[in-house]
């Protein structure tokens, strides 16, 4: 189907929940994707921080092909090896003792919220159920996770929301203290707020949060759906922020593009889940877990994490240079290959300029550009992004000047 026809059919047959860029992507290789007309694009979106190994990575493709031919799905009525192997791998490389598998980030956070409530109920009674989350956060689109998400635009029109949530200001410990009471069961946050516009948690703030939670037996929940799987240069962001959570959620990059989610916890917390209290039909199915195992192996055994760390530093430094050079750049934030550029102008215009130059980037909010490329991105590819950005900033600065006079 030609792109025009595809757009018309999408407008006719799909529920209109997305505004899409006007291209139709048909295949990918490494950090590049190709549209229907054969045009090449450098991919700094990576399926929104999902394609950590890029497109068509041979190890991932082979793992999926082999597993698809052998066994795709069985349900959790039976044992399957990829699921247990993946849990073992995640446990051996994290703070956690046990894993629950599901199919998305929102579902992983649902599991985390349910686990925190279950833990608090069984230990302190049914009056302990509140979860404190952050303003400007993002935790998913189910009813519980839009309630957890501290952004009006995500919640509006879906009321009544779930009871039992409170909202603190990110990086502001005093608001945590003010919201905490005998009903508080957990505090949930992203180590780097992604969708909210790329804001990094302060180390000192996290350290105080950790001590505060430990003293009161409040569960500290890290949503690493976006920051996990090497995005920040270590397998998980918490490793370099110097603080260990009690529960951690993963999804996006975990299986390199195959849908999967995971909720990880220490034994003392995980034991609140007993047979029958939580479940997922697809959760941890052999196909998704085989894909995730391949991703884990590449990240843990190869040089991808080191490369991601170095490229993250290069990208951060180059973007910081843009701030010195272009008035439209207000701030540059991030860790590793999760970088954000706050602009004084509409981010959508810059996204469109870059698309026209064959570079895919994405906006997080109205004024923030977000860069979450595959972890295999190279310096030359980053330089191409910078050229596209420079051209766009120059053009848009000219326009900004025109409108001022
Ligand atoms: C993307 C994201 C989610 C939601 O994941 P879905 O797979 O879309 O449900 C939750 N938390 C964070 C931090 C995310 O970036």
Written as six digits, the tokens of 45 are: 């979106």
Taking only the tens place, the pLDDT of each residue in 74-100 is: 999 999 999 999 999 999 999 999 999
Closest among 32, 33, 12, 36 to 22, alpha carbons compared? 36
Q: What's the CA gap between 395 and 389, in Å, rounded? A: 10
Q: Quote the ligand 1 centre to 395 CA distance (angstroms).
A: 33
Listed residues 301, 336, 363: the one ending a domain: 301
336 lines ligand 1 (CB under 6 A): no
Closest among 134, 125, 54 to 295, alpha carbons compared? 54
Enumerate residues 6+ apart whose C-beta is below 8 A from 138. 149, 151, 154, 190, 193, 194, 195, 196
The alpha carbon of residue 20 and the mean position of all alpha carbons in its chain are separated, in whole angstroms, by: 19
Is the pLDDT assigned to residue 357 strictly greater than 70? yes
226 lines ligand 1 (CB under 6 A): yes
224 lines ligand 1 (CB under 6 A): no
Residue 333's domain comprises 3-56+303-404
Q: Which atom of ligand 1 is nearest to the CA of 261?
A: 7
Residues 165 and 278 in one domain: yes
Residues 128 and 77 in one domain: yes
Q: Quote the ligand 1 centre to 365 CA distance (angstroms).
A: 15
In the chain, the number of structural domains is 2
Structural domain contains residue 63: no
Residues 35 and 84 in one domain: no
Listed residues 246, 268, 301: the one ending a domain: 301
Residues 121 and 263 in one domain: yes
With beta carbons less than 8 A apart as the criterion, state whether 249 and 109 touch: yes
Residues 208 and 351 in one domain: no
Which protein residue's CA is at the shortest distance from atom 6 of ligand 1?
Answer: 105
225 lines ligand 1 (CB under 6 A): yes
Percent of the chain, pLDDT > 90? 97
Q: Which atom of ligand 1 is nearest to the CA of 252?
A: 7
Kindly report the pTM of this predicted structure: 0.97
Q: Which atom of ligand 1 is nearest to the CA of 190?
A: 13
Q: Quote the ligand 1 centre to 194 CA distance (angstroms).
A: 9
Structural domain contains residue 66: no
CA-to-CA dists, residue 156 to 143, 147, 153, angstroms: 11, 10, 6
Residues 147 and 218 in one domain: yes
Q: What's the CA gap between 270 and 21, in Å, rounded? A: 42
Residues 211 and 347 in one domain: no
Taking only the tens place, the pLDDT of each residue in 162-217 is: 999 999 999 999 999 999 999 999 999 999 999 999 999 999 999 999 999 999 99
pLDDT (0 to 100) of residue 403: 53
Residues 177 and 309 in one domain: no
Listed residues 301, 325, 342: the one ending a domain: 301
304 lines ligand 1 (CB under 6 A): no
342 lines ligand 1 (CB under 6 A): no
Residues 135 and 34 in one domain: no
**Region 40-45 average pLDDT:** 98
pLDDT (0 to 100) of residue 402: 59
Q: Quote the ligand 1 centre to 210 CA distance (angstroms).
A: 23
Backbone angles phi, psi at 143, to 5 degrees: -65, -45
140 lines ligand 1 (CB under 6 A): yes
- Put the strands of the sheet holding 130-134 in their side by side order: 98-102, 261-265, 247-250, 219-223, 184-189, 130-134, 165-168
138 lines ligand 1 (CB under 6 A): yes
Taking only the tens place, the pLDDT of each residue in 217-246 is: 999 999 999 999 999 999 999 999 999 999
360 lines ligand 1 (CB under 6 A): no
């Amino acid at each position: 189907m030609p792109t025009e026809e595809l757009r018309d059919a999408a407008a006719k047959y799909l529920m209109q929940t997305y505004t899409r860029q006007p291209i139709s992507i048909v295949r990918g290789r490494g950090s590049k994707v190709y549209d229907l007309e054969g045009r090449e694009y450098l991919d700094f979106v990576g399926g929104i921080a999902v394609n950590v190994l890029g497109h068509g990575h041979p190890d991932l493709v082979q793992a999926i092909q082999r597993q698809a031919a052998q066994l795709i799905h069985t349900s959790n009525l039976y044992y399957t090896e990829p699921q247990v192997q993946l849990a073992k791998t995640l446990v051996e490389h994290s703070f956690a003792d046990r894993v629950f598998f599901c199919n998305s980030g929102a579902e992983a956070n649902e599991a985390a919220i349910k686990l925190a409530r279950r833990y608090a109920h069984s230990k302190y009674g049914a009056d302990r159920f509140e979860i404190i989350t952050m303003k400007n956060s993002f935790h998913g689109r189910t009813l519980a996770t839009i309630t957890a998400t501290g952004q009006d635009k995500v919640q509006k029109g879906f009321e009544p929301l779930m009871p039992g949530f409170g909202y603190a200001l990110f990086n502001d410990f005093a608001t945590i203290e003010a919201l905490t009471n005998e009903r508080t069961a957990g505090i949930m946050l992203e180590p780097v707020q992604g969708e909210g516009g790329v804001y990094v948690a302060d180390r000192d703030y996290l350290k105080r949060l950790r001590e505060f939670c430990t003293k009161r037996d409040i569960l500290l929940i890290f949503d690493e759906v976006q920051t996990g799987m090497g995005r920040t240069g270590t397998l998980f962001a918490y490793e370099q922020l110097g603080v260990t959570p009690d529960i951690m959620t993963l999804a996006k990059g975990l299986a390199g593009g195959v849908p999967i989610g995971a909720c990880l916890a220490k034994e003392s917390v995980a034991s609140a889940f007993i047979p029958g209290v939580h479940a997922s039909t697809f959760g941890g199915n052999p196909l998704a877990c085989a894909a995730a195992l391949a991703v884990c192996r590449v990240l843990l055994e190869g040089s991808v994490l080191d490369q991601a760390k170095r490229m993250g530093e290069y990208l951060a430094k180059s973007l910081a240079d843009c701030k010195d050079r272009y008035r439209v750049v207000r701030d540059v934030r991030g860790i590793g290959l999760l970088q954000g550029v706050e602009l004084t102008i509409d981010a959508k215009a810059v996204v469109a300029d870059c698309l026209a130059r064959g570079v895919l980037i994405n906006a997080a909010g109205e004024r923030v550009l977000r860069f979450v490329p595959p972890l295999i991105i190279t310096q030359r590819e980053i330089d191409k992004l910078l050229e596209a950005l420079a051209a766009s900033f120059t053009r848009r600065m000219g326009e900004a000047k025109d409108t001022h006079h």
